[in-house]
């Protein structure tokens, strides 16, 4: 994608999700030990993916057009998101509605626990309930630059809680 982003006239559509919700999901998957990976594996993948996303955005700034679709916006009003993408691409949809699939492909080993369910608005921002308070304060500090680059609203975090979260986070990444 980096090579493609450096070509003049390239148009990229990026679908992004709140990094803290991704972290909460990754820890849930690890807790269930669905794939045998460690916490450290999931947390490193999330960090690397977002750093790659920032590199892509930076590389494409002068040569490519980028349209960012936030997962949360899609879930809240997927038709509005589809219309915005179609307008950006210059495609007339004429108000046609697209539906989410009603079931996931069970042959895909990385399909999440959403089998047979549509994405849920209740899961947006659920990291506050799914992660210990001090851990999400720490992750809010760690991902503040990424969140800002992706136009997520600023999260206020408590520095004292973030420091405690840093210690807990290190323990999480070194255990099974």
pLDDT tens-digit series, residues 160-169: 888 887 777 6
Average pLDDT over residues 40-56: 83
Q: Determine the 3-state secondary structure of 79 from DSSP.
A: helix
DSSP state of 156: P
Weakest-pLDDT range from 31-35, 36-40, 113-117? 113-117
For residue 92, CA distances in Å to 69, 86, 97, 106, 148 come to 18, 7, 12, 34, 31
**Per-residue pLDDT at 66:** 83
Whole-angstrom CA distances from 33 to 29, 30, 42, 100, 108 are 6, 5, 11, 28, 17
pTM of the model: 0.73
DSSP string, 1-66: -HHHHTSTT-EEEEEE--HHHHHHHHHHHHHHTSS---HHHHHHHHHHHHHHHHHHHHHHTTT-EE
Residue 15: C-alpha distances to residues 66, 81, 166 (Å): 11, 11, 28
Is 39 within 8 Å of 135 (Cβ atoms)? no
**Regarding beta strands 11-16 and 65-70, do their DSSP bridges make them parallel or antiparallel, or are they unpaired?**
parallel
- What's the CA gap between 49 and 126, in Å, rounded? 21
Sign of CA dihedral 13, 15, 18, 23: negative
As a whole number, mean pLDDT of residues 41-50 equals 83
- Note the pLDDT of residue 63: 63
Return the structure tokens found at 24: 């909460």
How many other CB atoms are there within 10 angstroms of residue 127's CB atom? 22
């Amino acid at each position: 994608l980096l090579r493609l982003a450096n070509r003049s006239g390239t148009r990229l559509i990026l679908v992004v999700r709140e990094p803290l919700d991704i972290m909460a999901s990754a820890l849930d998957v690890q807790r269930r030990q669905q794939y045998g990976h460690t916490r450290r594996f999931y947390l490193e993948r999330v960090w690397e993916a977002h750093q790659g996303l920032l590199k892509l955005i930076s590389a494409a700034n002068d040569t490519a057009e980028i349209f960012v679709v936030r997962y949360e916006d899609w879930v809240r009003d997927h038709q509005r998101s589809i219309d915005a993408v179609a307008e950006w691409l210059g495609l007339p949809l004429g108000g046609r509605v697209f539906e989410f699939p009603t079931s996931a492909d069970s042959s895909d080993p990385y399909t999440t626990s959403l089998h047979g369910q549509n994405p849920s608005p209740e899961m947006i921002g659920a990291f506050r309930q799914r992660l210990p308070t001090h851990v999400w304060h720490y992750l809010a500090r760690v991902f503040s630059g990424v969140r800002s680059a992706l136009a997520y609203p600023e999260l206020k975090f408590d520095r004292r809680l973030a420091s405690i979260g840093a210690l807990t986070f290190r323990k999480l990444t070194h255990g099974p």
